[in-house]
């Protein structure tokens, strides 16, 4: 419920509660608004920071192409704006990719790191999925966008048992989404096309938790294992019967894993 200026753009953010700071970085189709139901839990022991990345939610939608280093600079500027030397970060999907950049390239700025449904690089396969999304976004047709981009982020079982909810969301998207929003999604998607931080994973100094979903069809389990293998000492939890959008499908598991990891002094546990 505040903004700051970054490289002539207006960046929207929220700042809730008190305690060790925890910054949330959103997936492509998300914004601060997506976290409304989570704010009480996430701010119960922490200062919860959320930000709409460039081309997301209420932040500026730009008129040029960029790559993810722009979002990385934005995150650093946001921390500077808040006069925070360090914060814990929880990144989801695209937000996890930005979180990897920040943690690997600026390790002194990150306390603990959670990477949920994130990949260390955009594989050829994921790039093609992005291309299919771009076709749908370019149509500016809400139904084509929804059918192409949304069901794939859920597990089939969840989707089957939430059809009314899904239909409601489709109508909502069709009504609410403007060409500007679709074009923003497309720029976000293209900005991730060259994402490849595999070479920087070993530079991450933050204690890290990777959260994966059994039925993640966007950043599937082999991507998750690669990520865990690349980050020294990374912990790994799998959410069963769950798709890419873990926070929506399994909010209890997601919240427990994130907050338990962020708020427990686990680094002190030494077995014998």
Of 255, 180, 186, the C-alpha closest to 28 is 186
Closest approach, Cβ 198 to a second copy, in A, equals: 12
Closest approach, Cβ 131 to a second copy, in A, equals: 4
Query: Among residues 75 and 257, whose Cβ is nearest to a second copy?
Result: 257
CA 166 from chain centre, in angstroms, equals 21
Query: Among residues 141 and 183, whose Cβ is nearest to a second copy?
Result: 141
**Helices and strands: H and E segment counts in the chain:** 11, 8
Closest approach, Cβ 92 to a second copy, in A, equals: 14
Query: Among residues 60 and 118, whose Cβ is nearest to a second copy?
Result: 118
Q: What is Dmax (Cα atoms) for the chain?
A: 60
Closest approach, Cβ 73 to a second copy, in A, equals: 29
Of 9, 198, 219, the C-alpha closest to 95 is 219
Closest approach, Cβ 228 to a second copy, in A, equals: 8
Burial class (CB in 10 A: 0-12, 13-18, 19+), 217: middle
Query: Among residues 40 and 199, whose Cβ is nearest to a second copy?
Result: 40
Pairing verdict, β 46-51 and 9-16: antiparallel
Partners of 11 in the β-ladder = 4
CA 213 from chain centre, in angstroms, equals 14
Q: With contact defined as beta carbons under 8 Å apart, do 54 and 26 qualify?
A: no
Query: Among residues 31 and 255, whose Cβ is nearest to a second copy?
Result: 255
């Amino acid at each position: 419920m505040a903004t700051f200026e970054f490289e002539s753009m207006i960046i929207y953010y929220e700042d809730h509660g008190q305690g060790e700071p925890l910054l949330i970085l959103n997936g492509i189709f998300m914004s601060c608004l997506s976290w409304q139901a989570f704010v009480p839990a996430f701010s119960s022991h922490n200062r919860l920071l959320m930000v709409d990345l460039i081309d997301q939610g209420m932040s500026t939608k730009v008129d040029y192409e960029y790559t993810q280093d722009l979002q990385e600079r934005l995150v650093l500027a946001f921390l500077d704006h808040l006069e925070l030397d360090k914060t814990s970060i929880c990144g989801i999907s695209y937000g996890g990719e930005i979180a990897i950049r920040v943690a690997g390239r600026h390790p002194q700025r990150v306390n603990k790191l959670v990477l949920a449904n994130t990949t260390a690089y955009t594989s050829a396969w994921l790039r093609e999925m992005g291309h299919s999304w771009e076709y749908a976004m370019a149509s500016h047709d809400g139904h084509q966008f929804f059918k192409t981009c949304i069901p794939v982020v859920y597990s089939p079982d969840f989707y089957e048992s939430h059809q009314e909810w899904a239909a409601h969301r489709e109508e909502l998207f069709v009504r609410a989404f403007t060409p500007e929003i679709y074009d923003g999604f497309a720029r976000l998607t293209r900005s991730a096309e060259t994402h490849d931080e595999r070479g920087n994973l070993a530079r991450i100094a933050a204690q890290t938790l990777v959260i994966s979903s059994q039925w993640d069809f966007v950043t599937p389990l082999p991507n998750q294992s690669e990520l865990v293998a690349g980050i020294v000492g990374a912990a790994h939890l799998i959410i069963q019967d769950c798709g890419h959008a873990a926070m929506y499908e399994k909010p209890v598991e997601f919240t427990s894993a994130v907050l338990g990891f962020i708020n427990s002094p686990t680094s002190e546990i030494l077995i014998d």
